[in-house]
Structure 1
């Protein structure tokens, strides 16, 4: 956390990633690593860890919203839409997910 707060994002991401790799069944560490990687601009790596987090908690809507967001950022629009729709099946009318899906659909159509 200190490294991230000091704008040493890549270094901080490496540390969070190391922790997540040592405890692959820890959902919170997986999400933290994914978020740190995203903030460091390592979006493909972040996608991997958001997918992993979603696999750890497949019934958690926020897992799928996060995954949808990184897929959206990475230009994988159809996969992002599927992730957002899964999140909305789990948590209907979530404002963040609805907004993200709306923005995504304006790019696709």
Structure 2
């Protein structure tokens, strides 16, 4: 029996399982007021399109938006902060529904 072939098959199967329901979000740690702040969302595999909502919260102020991403696709989104938006420590929350579900919270700084 060829054990190396069996092990290779198991590794390949586990890689597929890991890749399914995987995502990558690239967002800046520093967000600037009066500026179009860019972020990117990649969905590796999903059974249907994924709606990703994002919300920046600092105190009582909130800015939000959303984008829809298909499996194997990257979408760019923009968080535009008005000049009067407060500065300081904030939380950026991503919530996904549809083909996959997740919630990803990140600490950011608004300046």
TM-score, structure 2 normalization:
0.21
Question: TM-score normalized by structure 1?
Answer: 0.21
The structure richer in strand per residue is: 2
Q: Which protein has the larger Cα radius of gyration, Structure 1 or Structure 2?
A: 2
